[in-house]
Structure 1
Amino acid sequence: MKYTTEIIVNLPREEFIKKLDNADNMKHWQRGLVKYELLSGSAGQEGARMSLDYKMGKREMSLIETIIKRNFPEEFHATYDTKGVHNIQKNYFEEVDANTTKWISKSEFQFSSFMMKAMGFLMPGAFKKQSYKYAEDFKAFAEKGISVSKS
């Protein structure tokens, strides 16, 4: 399953990237993020692996992020793996003008378990909705300092 999410953030690209590239900021725009931990490599650099733990309601999920391309301020690509799912995220950051950045995120989900294949087939909108929600939450945090963090 593939789809693209786009959002305009009213922030200069350099400032946008500073906020996006700071792992401590993830809790402010990634709902349910409980903790993150560097597993290998240099934090934020190509080849680095990090575990990300989320709690969404009663559901807990752990992902492994692997950075595959870091070419700021233009692009950042990573994979996210969890049981039955391999997600490839290709993010592009375009300067609309001196104070505006367009974030284009191309998502590809590859499912290996029957259950996840069924979810991807029956509920593709849920994946798209979640991706867009993260983008909206980042926009609110980056522009206005609004955090989704409970702590």
Structure 2
Amino acid sequence: MKYSNEIVVDLPRDEFIRKMDAPENMKHWQRGLIAYEQLSQKPGQEGSRMSLSYQMGKREMVMVETIIKRNLPEEMHTTYDAKGVHNIQKNYFREEDGKTRWISESEFQFSGFGMKLMGFLMPGAFKKQSLKYMEDFKNFAENGISVLDQ
């Protein structure tokens, strides 16, 4: 399953990248994030890995993020691996009149019957969740509003 989302954030690209690239900010725009742990000696570099733990309703989900391409401020590509799902995330950042256009391309690959069925029956839920994270980042970056306060 593949899809893309985009959003314009009213910040210069350098400031946008500073806020996005700081792991301590993730809790302010990634709903449900309860912990992260760097798994690599050189965090934030190509090949580095980080474990992310989320509380989604009554269940906890753990995934591993791997940076596969880091060409900031233009682009950053990552993968996310969790039980039954492999997500390839390609993010592009375009400077536009003092604002930043964030284009996100997502590809989900499912394994196991349950995850394949969910991907088949609810593809819109994945796109909606991705867009929600982008909107929450925009609200945090522009207005300082954290999802922790909602």
Quick one: which amino acid aligns to residue 16 of structure 1?
Answer: F
Residues 1:55 and 2:52 are matched in the alignment: no
User: How far apart, in 2, do the equivalents of 1:19 and 1:57 lie?
Assistant: 27
Q: 2:146 matched to which residue of 1?
A: 147
Gaps of 5+ in 2: none
User: How far apart, in 1, do the equivalents of 2:9 and 2:18 lie?
Assistant: 13
Q: 2:127 matched to which residue of 1?
A: 128
* Aligned residue runs from structure 1 range 3-18, under 5 A: 3-18=3-18
Asked whether the equivalents of residues 2 and 107 of structure 1 are also in contact (C-alpha less than 8 Å), the reply is yes
Gaps of 5+ in 1: none
Deviation at 1:100, TM superposition (A): 0.6
* Aligned residue runs from structure 1 range 1-151, under 5 A: 1-97=1-97, 99-149=98-148
When the two chains are superposed, the root-mean-square deviation of aligned CA atoms in Å is 1.1
User: How far apart, in 2, do the equivalents of 1:142 and 1:18 lie?
Assistant: 10
Asked whether the equivalents of residues 27 and 149 of structure 1 are also in contact (C-alpha less than 8 Å), the reply is yes
- SS at 1:17's partner residue? helix
Give the TM-score normalised by the residue count of structure 2. Answer: 0.97
Asked whether the equivalents of residues 41 and 49 of structure 1 are also in contact (C-alpha less than 8 Å), the reply is no
Asked whether the equivalents of residues 41 and 47 of structure 1 are also in contact (C-alpha less than 8 Å), the reply is no
- Write the deviation string for residues 119-141 of structure 1: whole angstroms up to 9, x where unpaired: 11000010001000000000000
Quick one: which amino acid aligns to residue 142 of structure 2?
Answer: E
Deviation at 1:59, TM superposition (A): 1.6
Structure 1 runs (4+) deviating above 6 angstroms are none
Deviation at 1:149, TM superposition (A): 2.0
Asked whether the equivalents of residues 50 and 65 of structure 1 are also in contact (C-alpha less than 8 Å), the reply is yes
Count of residues in Structure 1 that have an aligned counterpart in Structure 2: 150
Give the TM-score normalised by the residue count of structure 1. Answer: 0.97
Identity of aligned residues (%): 72
Deviation at 1:41, TM superposition (A): 3.6
Deviation at 1:15, TM superposition (A): 0.3
Asked whether the equivalents of residues 3 and 107 of structure 1 are also in contact (C-alpha less than 8 Å), the reply is yes
Deviation at 1:56, TM superposition (A): 1.6
Asked whether the equivalents of residues 51 and 63 of structure 1 are also in contact (C-alpha less than 8 Å), the reply is yes
